[in-house]
Structure 1
Amino acid sequence: MFGDLRRFDPAWAPGGDWFRRFFDEMWPDPGAADIRSVPRGSFPMINVGRTDDAVRVYVFAPGLAAEELEVSLQDNVLTVSGRRGGGAEADTGERRTHFRRERAAGEFSRSVSLPEGLDPDRAEARFRNGVCEVVLPKREELKPRRIDIQAS
């Protein structure tokens, strides 16, 4: 009458995956992008933000050296590319069978469209602890300016 209760699927329980997806679809928050909004296997992860003076792009590339990344800007599209090795087991030359493998190896490339009004000649990139920060200053004429008020 009630079906086989032994085949209970926890995904249908309150708080399960369907519940989260239902609320995300009913009331989307455009400012709340998270790991679910990035296609599976995307590498490197990228954050893009803006200040009054510049656009800042953070490229999260753990396990890579600065020399293994290439950053380029053309027509307001920032592209990060490079190659990620197979990890420690590739260095030993030893043949292995993996029970689970989540870290992909090989060439990668990610591109991000940026807003107009940036000064590519003043762009800078710094790499530290697996994070590459790319700073793209805004052109002077597009920066907000404060106008002093003179008392009469």
Structure 2
Amino acid sequence: MFGDLRRFDTGSPWGVDWFREWLDEIFPEPGATDIRAVPRGTYPMINIGRTDDAVRVYVFAAGLTAGDLELSLQDNVLTVRGERNAAADESEGDERRPYFRRERANGGFARSIALPEGLDADRAEARWHHGVFEITLPKREELKPRRIEIQAA
């Protein structure tokens, strides 16, 4: 009944991608103008938080293992690199796939995030649990908040 369903040709200026971008300009998503907003399709998504002792970075990369991701820190810039390969059912068969829509992109990716000053990169730790990578970057001792005792006169 439907025959061969394929994606629309996005190469022309009147393709679906052009129309979606035009609509996004007219009707932005709520929060898209927020200073913390990232462009659509940014991968992997990242949360960054801090405590008195450390800065914690959470990298959400479902389907990847600890060996699939490379982390580096230089001049307070954390770089996350890796590659997402096609799932087993996507890599087999001919060019015509039984998909009506595919939103999961494959291939290499890299993101760089500026971090605050005063982190001790030598004591950085990274953990992986079910596709969430937690990177802990301790603050240098001299930058941690200290309590000052008040003495009575």
User: Which residue of the partner structure matches residue 142 of structure 1?
Assistant: 143
Q: What fraction of aligned residue pairs are identical, expressed as a percent?
A: 63
What's the secondary structure of 1:104's corresponding residue?
A: coil
Residue 47 (structure 2) pairs with residue 83 (structure 1): no
Question: Relative to 1, partners in 2 of residues 1:56 and 1:151: Cα closer, same or farther, differing over 3 Å?
Answer: same
1:149 positional shift: 2.5
Residue 27 of structure 2 aligns to a residue whose secondary structure is: helix
Which runs of 5 or more residues in structure 1 are unaligned? 1-16
Which blocks of at least 5 consecutive residues in structure 2 are unaligned? Answer: 1-25
The number of residues matched between the two structures is 126
Cα 1:29–1:110 change in 2 (3 A) is: closer
Q: Which amino acid aligns with 1:94?
A: G
TM-score by length of 2: 0.74
Q: What is the deviation of 1:47?
A: 0.7
2:122 is paired with a residue of what secondary structure?
helix
TM-score, normalization by structure 1: 0.74
Deviation at 1:88, TM superposition (A): 2.8
Higher helix share: 1
1:2-151 maps to which residues of 2 (within 5 A)?
Answer: 18=27, 30=35, 33=36, 37-91=37-91, 93-95=92-94, 96-151=97-152
1:97 Cα deviation after fit: 4.7
- Where in structure 1 do 4 or more consecutive aligned residues deviate above 3 Å? 17-21
Q: C-alpha separation between the residues in 2 aligned to 1:99 and 1:53?
A: 48
Residue 29 of structure 1 and its aligned partner are, at CA, apart by 5.9
Residues 88, 120 of structure 1: alpha-carbon distance in 2 compared, 3 angstrom cutoff = same
